[in-house]
Amino acid sequence: MREITIGVRDLTARAALLESGLGLTVLRTGLMTSSVASRLFDAHTIPRAALMGRPDVEGSPRIRLVEVLGALHGRERVGAPGPLGTGFTTTGISKIHARLQGLGVRFLSDPLLLAPPREEAIPGAPPGPRRYEAFGRFADGDFVVLIERVGADTAYGTLTSDSSEPLHASFVVTNLNASLHFMREVLEHETLLAESCSGPPFDELLGRPEGASFRFAMSHRPGFVTGRTIFMEFEKRLEPMTHTPGLGPGICRLRYDTTDLHATLARVPGGGGSLVRGPASVDDPVLGQGLVAMVRSPFGVLIELWQTT
């Protein structure tokens, strides 16, 4: 995954919060061209956009903020189907949690320690990796997830003390198997982690009723420690998920790089996706240059496929 696009109500305020709260850097900012706004985003007006990330970490995913004036996130609860939020791998999660709280982010709980399922434990073996997590919400309703991995040989990302890096985009889906099938067949991802979760501490972590259960899976491209996708299934349904608007509040699209766009597009129908637009050439001071196509995923979100030119 190269970029996560997030529609925000106040671009300047969100960029400043990600800078001061999470230590990200504004890489580029400005108005989109009318061509990009209309062809990629179906926007009749030209929105402002900013790219943010970790320039000191090669290959780190970027956050693309796009201003959606007057919009608020429609998600009412964590378990509602659709885009949930952006996850950040951290070191010093307690400091970052407190800093974001001071900047107006409302967390559902303090950082909680999560453990692997008990049946995976081997008697007499040393404890496996654990992770601290915290779910928070920005003022406009978009969610943020903080994660710190402990007891592992390597962290999720390349981090120093009291820092963070974009790790994943998370979605609540109604057909986990179909979502993982798309990621595997189209984007050549593997399922890194799959669990069934219920009870404490997940109830407190997600602000859910006591005893609620869900299926959880993490998808990633082998060889990349970040750029992952999280899926959570609280209720399985057979009907297709509602389409996420191409430009709207919260996560509204993901961008993946490919060295052969046409070969990737050929795999889309078999993966359960559909071509929406393209391929087409794009040249924009914020987005860069490339050959791009837009496809719709089974979990309703647009996927930008880019081949650098």
Q: Is 122 helix (H, G, I), strand (E, B) or coil?
A: coil
Q: Residue 165 has which token pair?
A: 């890096």
Q: Helix crossing, 11-22 with 93-102: angle to 10°?
A: 150
* Residue 36 or residue 290, greater confidence: 290
Q: Residue 83 has which token pair?
A: 């885009």
pLDDT > 70? residue 124: no
- 284: containing domain: 3-307
CATH of the domain at 73: 3.10.180.10
pLDDT tens digits along 206-228:
887 777 789 999 999 988 888 99
Residues in Cβ contact with 48 at an 8 Å cutoff, skipping those fewer than 6 apart:
11, 29, 30, 31, 32, 66, 67
pLDDT tens digits along 38-89:
667 777 788 899 999 998 888 889 999 999 877 666 666 788 899 999 999 9
Average pLDDT over residues 5-34: 90
Task: Return the pLDDT at 149.
Answer: 83
Placement of tokens 């992770």 in the chain: 131
Q: Residue 4 has which token pair?
A: 């996560």
Alpha helices in 23-168 (DSSP H): 34-41, 93-102
Confidence of residue 265 (pLDDT cuts 50, 70, 90): very high
8 A C-beta contact, residue 162 and residue 95: yes
Pairing of strands 213-220, 190-198: antiparallel
Give me the number of domains the chain comprises: 1
DSSP string, 38-61: HHHH--SS--EEEEEE-TTSTT--
Amino acid, single-letter form, for residue 56: D
Q: Is the pTM of this model over 0.75?
A: yes
